[in-house]
Every structure is written in C-alpha cells, then in structure tokens.
Amino acid sequence: MEEKLCSGEHPHHDFKNFALDYDVLYDLSEFFKVFGDSTRISIIAVLYKEGELCVCDIAAALGASQSAISHQLRILRTAGLVKPRRLGKTICYSLDDAHVEEIYKVGLEHSLHK
C-alpha cells in the first residue's frame, strides 16, 4: 500500500514552473563551507570587529601561528571573503565588502538568539 506524505487538507503549490539552478546552489554550498571552519570564522570575527589587520596581528589576536593564519587567509581570499592590501613589505587584510560583514553579522545574531 502506498503511503501518503500529505493529508491533502490544505492548498498545494504548483511546481510545474519551479526550477533550481543546481550549479548556483553548489557554489553557494561551497561558499558556506568556508564559514564552517572555526579558525576562518575567528579571522572573520576579528576583521569584522577590528577592521584591517596584518597577519601577525590576526595571529596574536587568535593565539595562532602566522603560518596557520596565512593558510586560512589564502582560503578566505580565494573564496572572496577577505581582500589583501600591501603596505610596503606588509600585507594587511580586511573583509572583502559589506556583503561579508552582513553574512557574518546575521549568522552571529541568529546564533545568539537561540
């Protein structure tokens, strides 16, 4: 006997013209995976709060090695979440744009409201 998933006692949506762009959803999923690492989200948090910082300041703030922070910054930069700026021999990093700030802020607010 076929099991019904719905009692049918409410209006149902017509999905005839509904389509998902799976390539876009895949890219979105990959984008959110970058946020899934505690070191990377900590870097984003520090940059959100403090603004532009060099690698050694980020490492000091997080109690991590400069090489570990550099590795994670490379991933964040590739994902378009942080941007570098050269100041002489030093490279400083900041959040890429207001979108990244907003994503972090909304995620934080959601986590705190539980």
Using a pLDDT cut of 70, give the percent of the chain over it: 95
pTM across the whole model: 0.84
> What is the pLDDT, as a whole number, of residue 82?
98
What pLDDT shows up at residue 11? 81
Mean pLDDT by 10 residues, the chain (114 residues): 65 80 92 94 97 98 97 97 95 96 95 87
The per-residue pLDDT for 1 is 47
pLDDT at 5: 66
DSSP-H helix ranges across 4-113: 22-34, 38-50, 55-62, 66-78, 98-113
The values of phi and psi at residue 26, to 5°, are: -65, -50
